[in-house]
């Protein structure tokens, strides 16, 4: 048996539609878990400029 989803698929689709239409990050918190949905343009931007280089960084 599979576990219950934290966020319903219909809610995720709604969040994605708002994120893309308004070009904003949509965030929801459920039971201490945060789910963020970024617009497609922001996701592509993050792919080009990641927070850390591929393979990580040496500390």
- Whole-number Å distance between alpha carbons of 59 and 53: 13
Strand partners, 28: 35
Render pLDDT for 36-54 as a digit per residue (tens, 0 to 9).
898 887 666 666 665 656 6
Residue 58 has pLDDT above 90, yes or no: no
Share of the chain above pLDDT 90, in %: 22
The DSSP element (H or E) to which 27 belongs, if any, is strand 26-30
Report the greatest alpha carbon distance in the chain. 42
Predicted pLDDT of residue 17: 93
Residue 56 has pLDDT above 80, yes or no: no
Q: How many CA atoms lie within 13 A of 13 on its CB side?
A: 3
């Amino acid at each position: 048996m599979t576990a219950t989803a934290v966020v319903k698929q219909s809610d995720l689709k709604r969040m994605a539609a708002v994120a893309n239409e308004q070009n904003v990050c949509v965030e929801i918190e459920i039971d201490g878990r945060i789910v963020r949905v970024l617009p497609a343009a922001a996701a592509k931007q993050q792919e080009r400029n990641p927070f850390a280089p591929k393979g990580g960084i040496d500390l």
